[in-house]
Amino acid sequence: MSYRHEQLVAAARAAGDRTDSDIAERLKVARVTAWRLRTGRTTPGASTLAKIEQAYGLTAAVLLRTEAA
């Protein structure tokens, strides 16, 4: 499974969030967590996925994809 962080970046920009601080504030997470999510350094867990869906309308199905075997 891979995390499609570019989807988060596009949704954040569309919502007017340009910085890690903007994303962190909207998701109510630490700025370093927002940076990790934005850059793809970490995959969001269930609670963060729920925050992303609520804030940006992106579902887990959009953000996560299963690699073909």
Residue 66 phi/psi, 5-degree rounding, is -90, 130
The single-letter DSSP state of residue 58 is: -
Q: 2-65 architecture in CATH?
A: Orthogonal Bundle (1.10)
Q: Model confidence over 38-49: pLDDT tens digits?
A: 999 999 999 999
Q: How far apart are CA 65 and CA 68, in angstroms?
A: 9
pTM for this prediction: 0.90
pLDDT category of residue 65 using cuts at 50, 70 and 90: confident
Q: Look at phi and psi of residue 45 and say left if phi exceeds 0, alpha if psi is from -120 to 50, else beta.
A: beta
